[in-house]
Amino acid sequence: HHFPSATFLTSAPKLADCPADTGLEVAFAGRSNAGKSSAINTLTRQKALARTSRTPGRTQLINFFTVGDPMYRLVDLPGYGFAKVPEAVRREWQKHLAQYLRERRSLQGTVLVMDVRHPLTEFDQMMMGWADENDMPLHILLTKADKLKRGAAMGVLSKVRHQLKEWEDLVSVQLFSSHDRQGVEALNERLCQWLTP
């Protein structure tokens, strides 16, 4: 797959509005402000394919991008856990997210984006629970790795790997940074595995 050829396809507020559930897709999930949209831009070498923001909660729709062919898609999910969103709205969104993960047949795997400085939050664990229930493979990006010294980042990586020992078959994890592009090849490789029929 040639990710730089990615283009915007459509936005959907809920599962019923998603494009036809055929082909293969990979979703990017994670806490608000973790760096999901930035990771998609880094992967695709496009500055503003996915909208990014310093304000958490920027992405409020499910955004679909195609890679070369409409049968291959990247999906930018709204962040979860954004505190300023009213509780009722948050619950509604959790319902849509859970439903998407449960019912979307073209979904091959989910990239779970975590800030390397705050890995495995309560929300991440909720997401991992859903993935587990649905036998959905996860690839964890410990992003913003540029914010830590190399040794500290490696320390977080091995600690998270250790904590995920019992998830071995379903979960992989790597360091990543959208600022210095570290880890982009490893992400590329994982996505190509998932997006190959």
For residue 63, state whether it binds Mg ion (rule: CB under 5 A): no
d(C-alpha 33, C-alpha 39), whole Å:
11
Binding residues for Mg ion, how many (CB under 5 A)?
A: 3
What order do you get walking across the sheet with 24-30 strand by strand?
7-12, 62-67, 69-76, 24-30, 107-115, 138-143, 171-175
Q: Residues 33, 37, 174, 182: which binds Mg ion (CB under 5 A)? A: 37
Spatial neighbors of 134 by CB under 8 A, at least 6 apart, are: 101, 102
Question: Element (H or E) spanning 29, and its range?
Answer: strand 24-30
- Are 82 and 74 in contact by the 8 Å Cβ rule? The answer is no
Q: Residues 26, 37, 114, 137: which binds ligand GTP (CB under 6 A)? A: 37
Choose among Mg ion, ligand GTP, none what residue 144 binds, the Cβ cut-off being 5 to 8 Å by kind. ligand GTP
Question: Quick one: which segment of 17-25, 31-39, 63-71, 161-169 binds ligand GTP (CB under 6 A)?
Answer: 31-39
Contact footprint for ligand GTP (CB under 6 A): 30, 32-38, 52-54, 56-59, 78-79, 143-144, 146-147, 177-179
Applying CB under 5 A, the residues found at the interface with Mg ion are 36-37, 59
